[in-house]
Amino acid sequence: MAIEVRIPTILRGYTGGAKVVEGAGDTLGDLLTDLDSRHEGLRARLVTDAGALHRFVNVYVNDEDVRFLGALDAKLNDGDSVTILPAVAGGAR
């Protein structure tokens, strides 16, 4: 089993148009490094040079925001689902 990663439209240029890709890693940081080995450039869009998640990127593990789970150190397990989304201004506020 692997970890399923949902890619937003805006980043599918890095995944050959794929909506969902698979990867592996014990932490989110490891997973992004693994993904970058097959989808070069993807990691740099999500992680700053200083090694933090970009401010306008939200990443969820099983629907929970990773910033509250240790961010790039968030632990992952086989079968987890990871979703990457751009931050948007609310809905019908």
Task: Tell me which residues touch another protein (CB under 8 A).
Answer: 8-11, 45-46, 54-58, 60, 63-65, 67-68, 83, 85-93
- Least distance from another protein to the Cβ atom of residue 14, Å: 12
- Least distance from another protein to the Cβ atom of residue 77, Å: 16
Spatial distance between the Cα atoms of 78 and 2, rounded to a whole number of angstroms: 5
- Least distance from another protein to the Cβ atom of residue 35, Å: 15
**Cα Rg of the chain, angstroms:** 13
Q: How far is CA 52 from the centre of its chain?
A: 12
